[in-house]
Chain A
Amino acid sequence: MNAPIATGVPAFLARFEGLRTRLPGDPAPRLAAAEVLRTLGLPGRRNEAWHYTNLRPIEDAAFSEPLTALRDSGMLLARVPHIGTRLVFVDGRFRVDLSDTPPAIFRPFAMHARFGDLAQPAREPLVALNTMLAEDGAIITLPNDADGGTITLVSLATEAPGRTTAFHPRHQIRVAAGARLTLVEVALGTGTYLHNPVTEIAVEDGATLTHVRLQDESPSAYHLATLYSSVAASGTYDSFTLTLGGRLSRTEIHATLTGAGAIAHLNAAQILTGIQHADFTSVVRHAAPNGTSRQTVKNVLAGSSRGVFQGRIEVARDAQKTDGYQMNQALLLSPDAEVNSKPELEIFADDVKCSHGATVGELDAEQLFYLRSRGVPASEARAILVRAFLSEAIEAVAHDDARAMLERAVSDWWEQHPA
């Protein structure tokens, strides 16, 4: 009788045993992470933070290591607009041959592995999984007052016939005092794979990081991204995540405003169809006074897709004069689509301004008729109204090329999935 094929956590642990001597950097955090994963397992539905997103498909899959690139990834790369300095990763590994000349502020994790102290592998099994198995990633370090311009990190996943691969990139972005950087991330691929990136971001005093993320993974992919962002006094972390791809995906962002007058924008839009499930979860911690956080998260849900938004704002006792705003809106294009929205406020300071709201609706029949009465066919009228719904969110992206990339991605999505 054959032994059952290991899946889920046992398979990941077995892979770690096989790989561990070859993984870069200090082995101690990896061993600790393996212990966390062995003890906790992947988060289940009894875990409140994972109530709406079921990782069963990850438990049941046997992921294997990506091989050295088998196929030309040029076709995939051609789909990515060239914005700023482009750095390309294939199946999680940095590919200097496909990238622009890397700037001096960039180092590949594979050669300079170190783990930051923002990520919390002890609390988050997926972060532990990443810590245990991370092979490569982008380390970007801007010195004081530097202008890093625009860097695009491209993640391409290639199809490995008969294999379901997993890769766990580890990115660290440090924008030192007074420095500024626009970081664009694009993830796409073909076939079935797990992309499980962890990104640690430190925005220091008066620094600005503009972070524009496009998740356009293959329709059968799993994408589970966790980001930790720490924003010091008068620093700005301005992020936007557009989710279009993946069979099952989650973006979890933890932003902590550690210094007075820090600003965090965690905006997002998700456009889903078929059986897609996408979860945008954010935790904003106001730990210092005069901080500002802004969030507009929009879901457009067609087919029998499911969109999840969980947004938690915590205001510490001495984070007085905090200004927090959060809005979550969903547009259901089909009776079988579903949205789960869970906003939470936890406020310990007494002089703060925090508001949040959530709306769920269908396309407005009056608006549709108005457009059709002017000669616009029904499908085009729906597309116009959906784009109008999304534009308020996407307009928040001030970087012209990055915003154009997102608008283009939405248009392309609509051409491929006319409602």
Chain B
Amino acid sequence: MLDIRGLAASINDTPILKGIDLTVPQGEVHAIMGPNGSGKSTLAYVLSGREGYEVTSGSVTYDGKDLLAIEPEDRAAAGVFLAFQYPVELPGVGNANFLRTALNAQRRARGEAELDAVQFLKLARGELRRLAIAEDMLKRNVNVGFSGGEKKRNEVLQMAILRPRLAILDETDSGLDIDALKIVAEGVNALRGPDFSALVITHYQRLLDHIVPDRVHVLAGGRILRSGGPELARELEAKGYTDMVAEAA
């Protein structure tokens, strides 16, 4: 599904990722944990195609395709979704319109029929109900005036409507209370299945109580230091990053 080989990337000539090897098989949820500045968000942005990141070596293959060679919108249409650590405000753009435009752009790119306003609203209302999100979120401008928790819920709502095949959650759990955390986890868990993979990037083990990963990887200094099962997250929580980084060194 997702195959990262020797990936190195820089921002303004400063190396951030220094050779990442990571494979996420179809149907699996992997967690990436690591201290601040370890390159977690950089990995998420490189995978989703944000400008300003220079890939200096390595490759990323998704579904047998060279993911790094295609535009962000084409990655999205191919099923890649990034839940942002800091969701962006779009003043003057209504949330419902935004979601329908995005969904239809993806469907168009995949050669599927677009949804009209009525069909879209039916779909969106169903997902809102399932995620226990108030319907007025659709009427507001995208993320404008949203609390931190509402912004993250909106990311989960987008994920639920766009139904990605590979979701990358970039510290989606940061700044959330336990209720919001559960909504995020439910959003991911609801999509789990043989056709869905996820890369859950987090600083804390807390989220992984609710989204139990198949594998956990520890990222530090731009490299994966250790990989293991869900128990690795708990070990990390007990020991702290400093000890683990020291042990690995």
Contacts and interface: CB of A to CB of B under 8 A. Distances in A.
A375 B48 contact: no
Contacts of B71: 372, 378
B90 A367 contact: yes
Measured as residues with beta carbon below 8 angstroms from the partner, the interface class of chain B is 20 to 34
Interface string A384-417: 1101110110000000000000000000000000
B72 A372 contact: yes
A369 B73 contact: no
Contacts of A376: 73, 101-102, 105
Nearest to B84: A370
A366 interface: yes
Measured as residues with beta carbon below 8 angstroms from the partner, the interface class of chain A is 20 to 34
Most B CB contacts (10 A, CB to CB) among A372, A377, A378, A392 go to A372
Most A CB contacts (10 A, CB to CB) among B75, B87, B90, B103 go to B90
B76 A384 contact: no
Nearest to A380: B105
Contacts of B88: 366-367, 369-370
Contacts, number: 74
Interface in B47-71: 48-51, 71
Most B CB contacts (10 A, CB to CB) among A370, A378, A389 go to A370
B111 interface: no
A138 B4 CA distance: 71
B85 interface: no
Contact of A373 (B72, B98, B103): B72
B181 interface: no
Interface of B: 48-51, 71-73, 75-77, 81-82, 84, 87-93, 98, 101-103, 105-106, 109, 158, 162
23 contacts: A369-B72, A370-B88, A370-B90, A371-B90, A372-B49, A373-B48, A373-B50, A374-B81, A374-B105, A375-B73, A375-B162, A376-B73, A376-B101, A376-B102, A378-B71, A378-B73, A384-B90, A384-B98, A385-B93, A387-B92, A388-B90, A391-B92, A392-B92
Given A371-B90, A372-B49, 17 more contacts: A367-B90, A369-B51, A372-B72, A372-B76, A373-B49, A373-B72, A373-B75, A373-B76, A373-B81, A374-B106, A375-B73, A376-B102, A378-B73, A384-B90, A388-B92, A392-B91, A392-B92
